[in-house]
Amino acid sequence: MQTIKIQIHHKEPLTVKKIATILYDEIGEEYDLMIEDIEDYFTFCSCTVLPNETFISVVEFSLPELETREASIKGIVFSFLDSVACISGVINITKMNDSILQEMALKYYEQIIELEMDMRDVLTYIVTYSSKTINEEFFKTFGINKSEKLDNANIKENFENGLFYIYFNHYASFTQPQKLKAEKIAEFLQEPHISSFEQLKTKLQDRGLKEDRHIDFIASIKDKLKPIEKMRNAIMHIRNISDNTIRNFEMAIEDNGVNKGIKTLIEDFWNNENEILQQQTFMKLAEIEIRNIFKEIDENKNSDYCSQSDIVNTMLDNDYQDLETFQNDVLEYIDDEINILNYAITDENYQELSLAIQALWGEDE
């Protein structure tokens, strides 16, 4: 059952029969309905006379589930409203509530919420990668001067960041910093750590994002955001969602031939980052953990400390008599526990980590 509520501004009396007859002409014969059945679909919620002696009537009508053929339920409703608008004495009709629109809006809004969170995920990573802090000053660097006021304490408490407080059309703003005005350059020159032209040049170059691949990604989603924002605005302001809006939205988020949708662009971004950085990431994690193991051993040589690591406990118990056994156990532990993304460790990686273990073993002795 679909329920629609309309507000009719009119100057002549309206009756249930008058408007039910119009709907009967739309669907009565096609769906083998009686005029009496259709009259039961309608309820006058109110009728109020205005100071200018016209009237506002609020009418609610419900449509049963119809096996639509050529026309959609939405099409039937709009055709019906067009016909009601032609009734003598009707000045204007406004659709106030519409379960058809609600269902459609919720369907697309769920997609937009998921997509927007995915975009914030990428952008937060990109900004952090460039060692930038997400705050109002950062936004101003890229010309974002309109956003909700950032409450840093509230943001921290809710594990959020400032990207949750900018407008949707700002997501693609981080490709190029705004040109600096003369007073801002003068402000930079007064900073204590800037004492040469080269230092000023570095300061200016550091205003933007560091990696071209990150800038290219943001540029690639710019045109995709426009039809998504149009759908988002239609939903948030409870406006009609046109077929053209739906078509452009779907083309923006899903692949269309060789033209990739924003979902695929985001997936490709993460795959590319992983491909570029997976070895560097694993090696850095492994090196830190090796140092942590030796540090823990060194700090607890003369105590009854019990570690979560079997390797540390075994070392503290003096059960490792040779470097090779210890080294193999550490590398096995790293592969099992530290290699969280199952990076395919190469022989060169093992050799480099083995040398690091050997050097620290020698220091420990």
Give dist(CA 124, CA 139) in Å, integer. Answer: 13
Which tokens sit at 87?
Answer: 């009734």
Rounded to an integer, what distance in angstroms lies between the CA atom of residue 51 and that of residue 44?
21
Whether residues 209 and 327 share a domain: the answer is no
Average of pLDDT values for 231-258?
92
The stretch 211-219 carries a mean pLDDT of 95
Q: Are residues 255 and 163 in the same domain?
A: yes
Answer yes or no: is pLDDT of 131 > 60: yes
Phi–psi pair at 217, nearest 5 degrees: -65, -50
Contact, 334 vs 340, CB < 8 A?
A: no
Q: Find residue 5's DSSP bridge partners.
A: 60, 97
* 226/169 Cα distance (integer angstroms): 8
**CA nearest to 252, candidates 363, 111, 153, 83:** 111
Q: Give the residue-averaged pLDDT of 195-223.
A: 79
Task: Report pLDDT for 313.
Answer: 81
Farthest-apart Cα atoms in the chain, separation: 103
Given a cut of 80, whether residue 142 has pLDDT beyond it is yes
In a shared domain, residues 263 and 291: no
- Judgement on whether residues 110 and 37 belong to the same structural domain of the protein: no
Query: Do residues 217 and 122 make contact, with C-beta atoms less than 8 angstroms apart?
Result: yes
| Average pLDDT for 183-198 | 58
Percent of the chain with pLDDT over 90: 56
Nearest to 340 by CA among 291, 278, 267: 278
Tens of pLDDT, residue by residue over 70-79, are 567 888 889 9
Q: How does residue 64 score in pLDDT terms, banded at 50, 70 and 90?
A: confident
CB atoms within 10 A of CB 298: 12
Q: Starting at the edge strand that comes first in sequence, how are the strands of the sheet with 2-10 ordered?
A: 42-49, 55-63, 2-10, 90-98
Report the CATH number that the domain containing residue 30 is assigned in CATH. 3.30.70
Give the range of the structural domain holding residue 297, as residue numbers without chain letter: 276-364
Q: What is the pLDDT of residues 21-57, one digit of tens each?
A: 999 998 888 888 899 989 999 999 999 999 999 999 9
Helices 243-253 and 262-299, axial angle in degrees (round to 10): 40
Residue 222: its pLDDT value, please? 92
Q: Are residues 294 and 158 in the same domain?
A: no
Q: What is the pLDDT of residues 3-19, one digit of tens each?
A: 999 999 999 999 999 99
pLDDT grade for 192, boundaries at 50, 70 and 90: low
Let me know whether 165 and 68 are in one domain. Answer: no
Comparing 71-85, 168-182, 217-231, the range with the smallest average pLDDT is 168-182
Q: What mean pLDDT value characterizes the chain?
A: 87
Q: Where are the alpha helices (DSSP H) in the chain?
A: 16-27, 35-39, 73-85, 99-129, 136-141, 152-157, 182-189, 197-205, 212-236, 243-253, 262-299, 310-316, 323-333, 347-364
| CA distances (Å), origin 143, targets 56, 152, 172, 210 | 47, 20, 11, 18
Task: Check residue 191 and report its DSSP letter.
Answer: S
User: Model pTM greater than 0.85?
Assistant: no
Of 98, 120, 153, which closes a domain?
98
pLDDT bucket at 81, cuts 50 / 70 / 90: very high
Q: At residue 87, what are phi and psi to the nearest 5 degrees?
A: -65, 140
**Backbone torsions φ then ψ of 30, nearest 5 degrees:** -60, -35
Instruction: Choose between 67 and 116: higher pLDDT.
Output: 116
pLDDT of 187: 58
Decide if pLDDT at 365 tops 80.
no
Reported confidence tier of residue 198, pLDDT bands at 50, 70, 90:
low
CA distances from 183 to 90, 122, 172, 179 (A): 61, 33, 27, 12
Q: Quick one: 125 and 156 in the same domain?
A: yes
Based on the structure, what is the number of domains in the chain? 3
110 and 255 part of one domain: yes
Q: What is the pLDDT of residues 315-346, one digit of tens each?
A: 777 777 788 988 999 999 999 999 999 999 99
How far apart CA 245 and CA 63 sit, in angstroms, is 25
* Burial of residue 150, with CB atoms counted within 10 A of its CB: 0-12 exposed, 13-18 middle, 19 or more buried: middle
Q: Which of 98, 121, 145 is the last residue of a domain?
A: 98
Of 266, 291, 289, 284, nearest to 343 by C-alpha is 284
Claim to verify: residue 131 and residue 191 sit in the same structural domain: yes
Choose the final residue of a domain: 80, 98, 116. 98
CA 205 from centre of chain: 29
85-110 pLDDT tens trace: 999 999 999 998 888 888 889 999 99
pLDDT at 48: 97
Q: Output Rg (C-alpha) for the chain, integer angstroms.
A: 33
User: pLDDT at position 248, please?
Assistant: 95
Who wins on pLDDT, 278 or 304?
Answer: 278
Same domain, 216 and 136: yes
Instruction: Report the pLDDT value the prediction gives residue 206, as an integer from 0 to 100.
Output: 72
Q: Residue 76 has which token pair?
A: 């039937």
- Cα–Cα dist 241/239, whole Å: 6
Mean pLDDT of 213-221: 96
CA dist 252 and 79 (Å) reads 30
Residues with Cβ within 8 Å of residue 186, at least 6 apart in sequence: none
Identify whether residues 166 and 214 lie together within a single domain. Answer: yes
The pLDDT value recorded for residue 75 is 85
Same structural domain for residues 186 and 294?
no
Lowest mean pLDDT among 80-84, 184-188, 253-257: 184-188
